[in-house]
């Protein structure tokens, strides 16, 4: 396999695994969030914060992927 191929796989893994982890975390938070909002609609703002916190993972994954692609190529 060429170096470019390995770099591409590395970049894909960086964002793919981060996205998977974000998805798993958000699935659990999302389910609880719906329950919380139904019980207490005014908690929407707080729940929104909790829901989007794991997204940082995928952003970091994306950044690492970009750095892999551009710094190593």
Partner 1 sequence: MIEPMAKVRLISPRHLVDGVTATLQEIGVLHIESTPSEAIRIPLSPYVMDEAARQRRVALDRLREELRRLLLLLPEISPGEWRGARPSRPELTEEGLARLIQVVREVGSRVDEASARLKACEEELALLSKYEKALVALTPFLSFIQESEELDHLGVTLEEKGGDRHLLGVLHEMMAKMTHNRYELFHARLDERSLVVLMIFPKAVSSKIRSLLWEEGITELQLPVSVADKPLGQALRIILQKKAELPIQASRHRQDLKDLALQWRQVLAQSSDAVLCCLEQIDATAYFYQTKMASFIYGWVPRRSLAGMSGRIGAEFGGKAVIEECPIDPKEWRTIPVVLRNSGVLRPFETLTRLIALPVYGSIDPTPYLAVFFPLFYGMILGDVGYGLLLLAGAAIVRRRYVDTPIVRDLAAIFLVASATTVLFGVLYGELFGKLGEYVGLRPSLNRMEAFIPFLAVSIAIGTLHVALGIALGAWSAWWRGDRQECVAKLGGLLLVVTFVALIASVANLLPRTWVTAETAVLLSSLTIIFIFGGVRGAMELHNLVNVLSYLRLMGIGIASVALAFAANKLGGMVGNVFLAVAIAGTLHAINFVFGILSPTIQSLRLHYVEFFENFFAPGGRPYKPFRHLHPAPPFRG
| Binding of partner 1 by 52 (CB under 8 A) | yes
Among positions 6, 24, 28, 63, the unique one binding partner 1 when judged by CB under 8 A: 63
Nearer to partner 1, 4 or 59 (CB): 59
Alpha-carbon distance of 8 to 1, in angstroms, equals 11
Decide: is 66 part of the binding site for partner 1 (CB under 8 A). Answer: yes
Task: For residues 14 and 27, give the distance between their C-alpha atoms in angstroms, rounded to a whole number.
Answer: 20
Question: What is the residue whose two structure tokens read 């750095």?
Answer: 67
Q: Tell me 46's DSSP state.
A: H
Q: Given the rule CB under 8 A, which of 3-11, 22-30, 32-40, 46-54 is the region that contacts partner 1?
A: 46-54
């Amino acid at each position: 396999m060429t170096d470019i191929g390995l770099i591409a796989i590395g970049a894909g893994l960086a964002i793919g695994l981060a996205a998977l982890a974000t998805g798993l975390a958000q699935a659990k938070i999302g389910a609880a969030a719906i329950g919380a909002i139904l019980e207490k609609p005014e908690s929407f703002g707080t729940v929104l914060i909790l829901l989007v916190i794991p997204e940082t993972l995928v952003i970091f994954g994306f950044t690492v992927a970009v750095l892999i692609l551009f710094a190593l190529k």
